Amino acid sequence: MEKTDLKNFTQEQLIDYLQREFKLPAFHGRQIFNWLYRPDITEFSQMTDLKKELRAKLSETARISLHTIAKKERSEDGTVKYAFRLDDGEIIESVLIPEEDRNTLCVSSQVGCAMGCDFCLTATLGFRRNLTPAEIVNQICTVINDMDEEMCCSGDKKSGCINNLVFMGMGEPLANFDNLLTALDIIMDQRGLDFSGRKVTVSTCGLVPKMRELGEKAPVNLAVSLHSVDDEVRSRLMPVNRKYPVEQLLQACRDFPLPKRRMIMFEYIMIEGVNDSEADARQLARQLKEIRCKINLLPYNESPDSDYKCPPRAKCEAFQEILIKAGYTVFIRSSRGSDISAACGQLAGRN
């Protein structure tokens, strides 16, 4: 009999499951949920405030999952790429980006991706399947367990090892919506991984019908992979634009229930000769009016599998300057982990 993975449950779902299957009171459910997300907990025998009989009974029908690290690569800039082998043999990748005062983990939501973006290596895999809530959450748990104490900004492995989460890895998060919401509940639960919604960012290529629902159900940051506001160009780069064109996407951004003092982040991969002209910058500035936002310019990470090229730095800076003069907050993001294929658009699970 296949054992039930308890990390697939939110706290309330776990309480219901334990009451139904084991007749356990709610306080036991809260105890067990809290244990699941402590660093290095892999066995029920480690839950020392539970009776031995209960621990033995749980181990007969339930399990505490954790990912197997299939490969771990460290970039010259300190970025670490993890390849995790799932129970069915599939591979997903996560990227740990260390900085002086914080660590950011880039998390995957699917095996492969169905969106078919022309510049993204993950798209070459096609769509394999959605990740379960446990498979999403365990990327965080496994990396925390693997990190050295000195990498933890606060010295506390549970709360200090990883400071920010970005759902920008393999897959389209909003295409795995229900499992994403369950994982976010666990991630932000105080007895779970205890992340503030301000420290969690979910990126989408533009699945318009799910954007508002995300804002209503999860107090997280929204990032939108935009890359062009010209429908012809964006449809060539991102097939999703044929179903949800630019105006529908930007209207969904205007309608997004944005908490006070937060902004939508627009991600804009700059590709030489495609979307990097001064006219493109001026058009972008006009289209984003009335949206509380900031803009990340991401010079394209070149790959032998693609003919696209990265624009010269001076061209990126000229593009940035036009947007700044139009009143936007704009960053040119330096590529991290490109030497180990861990940069934006390079995750392909090919280990």
Number of folded domains that form the chain = 2
**Are residue 44 and residue 83 in the same domain, yes or no?**
no
Q: Is residue 46 part of a domain?
A: yes
CATH number at residue 254: 3.20.20.70
Residue 148's Cβ-side half-sphere holds a number of Cα atoms within 13 Å equal to: 4
Same domain for 147 and 59: no
The answer to whether residues 115 and 154 belong to one domain is yes
Residues 193 and 75 in one domain: yes
Q: Which one of 26, 47, 63 terminates a domain?
A: 63
Residue 347 lies in a domain: no
Residues 233 and 300 occupy one common structural domain: yes
Clarify whether residues 88 and 54 are in a common domain: no
pLDDT tens, residue order, the chain (351 aa): 799 999 999 999 999 999 999 999 999 999 999 999 999 999 999 999 999 999 999 999 999 999 999 999 999 988 999 999 999 999 999 999 998 888 999 999 999 999 999 998 888 899 999 999 999 999 999 999 999 765 665 555 555 589 999 999 999 999 999 999 999 999 999 999 999 999 999 999 999 999 999 999 999 999 999 999 999 999 999 999 999 999 999 999 999 999 888 999 999 999 999 999 999 999 999 999 999 999 999 999 888 878 899 999 999 999 999 999 999 999 999 876 566 555 565 555 554
Strands (E), 184-281: 200-204, 221-225, 264-270
In the annotation, is 247 catalytic? no
> Is residue 107 situated within a structural domain?
yes
Range of the domain at 206: 68-340
User: Does residue 350 fall inside a structural domain?
Assistant: no
Establish if 349 belongs to a structural domain.
Answer: no
How far is residue 247's CA from residue 287's CA, in Å, rounded to a whole number? 9
Among 93, 135, 172, 267, which one carries the catalytic annotation?
93
In a domain, 25, yes or no: yes
Give yes or no: residues 174 and 189 share one domain: yes
150: its two tokens: 């000195």
CATH for 29: 1.10.150.530
Active site residue 93: yes
Q: Where among 45, 63, 81 does a domain terminate?
A: 63
Same domain, 105 and 174: yes
CA distance 218 to 205: 18
Give 184's contacts (C-beta < 8 A, 6+ positions apart): 200, 202, 218, 220
What does the pLDDT look like over 161-197, one tens digit per residue?
899 999 999 999 999 999 999 999 999 999 999 999 9
Last residue of a domain, one of 36, 63, 90: 63
Catalytic residue, chosen from 120, 161, 310, 344, is 344
Helices (H) and strands (E) in the chain, counts: 12, 14
* DSSP-assigned letter for residue 5: E
